[in-house]
Amino acid sequence: MATMTESRPETAVDFLPINGTDHVEFFCGNAKQSAHFYRSAFGFRLVAYCGPETGVRDRASYVLQQDKIRLLLTTALHPDHPVSDHVKMHGDGVRDIALWVDDAESAYRETTKRGARAVMEPTLFKDEFGEVRKSSIAIYGDTVHTFIERKNYSGVFLPGYRAVEGADTVSRPVGLKYIDHMVGNVGWGQMNVWVKFYEDVMGFKMFKHFDDKDISTDYSALMSKVMSNGNERIKFPINEPARGKRKSQIEEYLDFYQGPGVQHIAMATDNIIDTVTKLHEHGIDFLRVPTAYYDTLLSRVGKIDEPVDQLSKLGILVDRDDEGYMLQIFTKPVEDRPTLFYEIIQRKGSRSFGKGNFKALFEAIEREQALRGNL
C-alpha cells in the first residue's frame, strides 16, 4: 500500500475537495421583488425565507430553487448595513459563490495558509435540524466564497431559515438543472493574477478543453481563461478587458459594477428549445444574432438533432468541437446597470464554451452597448 501511495503524483491530492456549488447569494435592493422575477420568469420555486417574521431584524433573505440550482436573494432593512453598502456601490449583484464542502474548517485552513484573505473564520450555526459550519474567503472585488459544510444538517437550507410550505403558485419552471459555469470579470492585467489565485490558493487547474490563448479580436476585445476544480464540477472562466477598436464589453461592466464581479451565470438544461421557448413567453430578453448566422450553421457545425428553423426563431447558437456540440443563448443584462446576465446552455458531448460563437455574439453585445451610449 505504501508503494501505491508513493507512486501517486502529488497533484492527485485535492487539498480542497468541493462537492459542487451550494448556492449563489445576491445582495439586492428589493429581494421580495427580485424573488418574484426569478420565480415567474426563470421558473425558480420559493423554498425558504428568513426575515423579521423569523426573528431576523436586519435583513430578509429568500431561498429559490430549481433542480440543483439554489439562489439566495438578500436585502438589508436599514441603510447602515453591509448589504446596503454593497447595493449602493454595485447595484444588485452576486456577493457569494458558496461552495459545498465536507469540511469547512479544512477548506478555510488550506486556502488561507496559501494566501486567501479571510472573511469569516469557521463558525457553527445550529437549529433544531442540526448544525452547519461555514467559513468565507475573499475573491475578486467584493465577492466571496463561503464554504458550507452541511453533512450534519437536515433542514431546508441553513439554520434560521423557515421552510415555505405548499406549492409555489408564482413559479413557472423552465427546466433549468444545474450551474454549468460562472464567469468573473476582473480589471486590466488581472486575469492571470486570478488564474494564479485559483491555481495556488484553491488547487484549481486551467480547464484542459479550452483554448487558453488570447481571444481578443477587433470585436471581442477581451481575454479569458477557464479554471476548474479537481472533479470539474466547478468551472470559473475569468475575463479581463483587452484593447480593441471599441470599448471592451468587460470595461463597460467594470465601469457600472464599480469593479470586478460576476458577469454571467450559465445554467444548464436538457432541452434548450423547450426552456428558451418558455423563457421567451415569460418575457426574458435575449441577445440576437443576425439571421445570416443560421444560413451557414449546418456547414459549420455539421449534423445536429435540433431543427435549424426553431433555433433561428429562438436565437439559439450552436458550436462544435472534437467531443460533440453545445447549444447556448445569452440574456440581456437582468438589471438596469449593464452588469449581470445569464446563459442557458445544453451540452451534447462538447465541454467547451462556444468559441465559434464569440464573434457573432460580441457583435450583438456591441450593438447593445452602442444603444446604451457606452461603446
Number of residues that bind Fe ion (CB under 5 A): 2
As measured in angstroms, the least distance from the Cβ of 32 to Fe ion is 29
Residues 333 to 352 in contact with Fe ion, rule: CB under 5 A: 343
As measured in angstroms, the least distance from the Cβ of 365 to Fe ion is 12
As measured in angstroms, the least distance from the Cβ of 319 to Fe ion is 11
SS3 344: strand
In whole angstroms, how far apart are CA 115 and each of 108, 192, 197, 200, 257? 11, 16, 8, 8, 26
CA angle 188, 191, 193 (to 5 degrees): 105
- By CB under 5 A, which span of 117-125, 200-208, 260-268, 362-370 interacts with Fe ion? 260-268
235-241 and 341-348 as β-strands: parallel, antiparallel, unpaired? unpaired
What are the grid coordinates assigned to 264, written together? 454571467
d(CA 244, CA 82): 37
Is position 268 an interface residue for Fe ion (rule: CB under 5 A)? no
d(CA 222, CA 275): 29
What are the grid coordinates assigned to 327, written together? 447549444
As measured in angstroms, the least distance from the Cβ of 46 to Fe ion is 27
Q: For Fe ion, which is the closer residue by CB, 132 or 365?
A: 365
d(CA 119, CA 243): 34
Q: For Fe ion, which is the closer residue by CB, 73 or 361?
A: 361
Report residue 31: phi and psi, to 5°.
-65, -30
As measured in angstroms, the least distance from the Cβ of 208 to Fe ion is 17
- By CB under 5 A, which span of 75-83, 137-145, 155-163, 261-269 interacts with Fe ion? 261-269
Is position 361 an interface residue for Fe ion (rule: CB under 5 A)? no
Look-up of cell digits 470599448: 247
Q: For Fe ion, which is the closer residue by CB, 26 or 358?
A: 358
Q: Are the C-beta atoms of residues 329 and 315 closer than 8 Å to each other?
A: yes
Contact pattern for Fe ion over residues 31 through 50, marking x by CB under 5 A: --------------------
Is position 266 an interface residue for Fe ion (rule: CB under 5 A)? yes
What are the grid coordinates assigned to 57, written together? 431584524
Amino acid at the residue 149: E
Q: For Fe ion, which is the closer residue by CB, 191 or 266?
A: 266
What are the grid coordinates assigned to 56, written together? 431576523
As measured in angstroms, the least distance from the Cβ of 180 to Fe ion is 8
As measured in angstroms, the least distance from the Cβ of 310 to Fe ion is 22
d(CA 278, CA 186): 33
Q: For Fe ion, which is the closer residue by CB, 254 or 266?
A: 266
- By CB under 5 A, which span of 4-12, 142-150, 163-171, 259-267 interacts with Fe ion? 259-267
As measured in angstroms, the least distance from the Cβ of 263 to Fe ion is 9
Contact pattern for Fe ion over residues 185 through 224, marking x by CB under 5 A: ----------------------------------------
d(CA 330, CA 332): 7
Residues that bind Fe ion (CB under 5 A): 266, 343
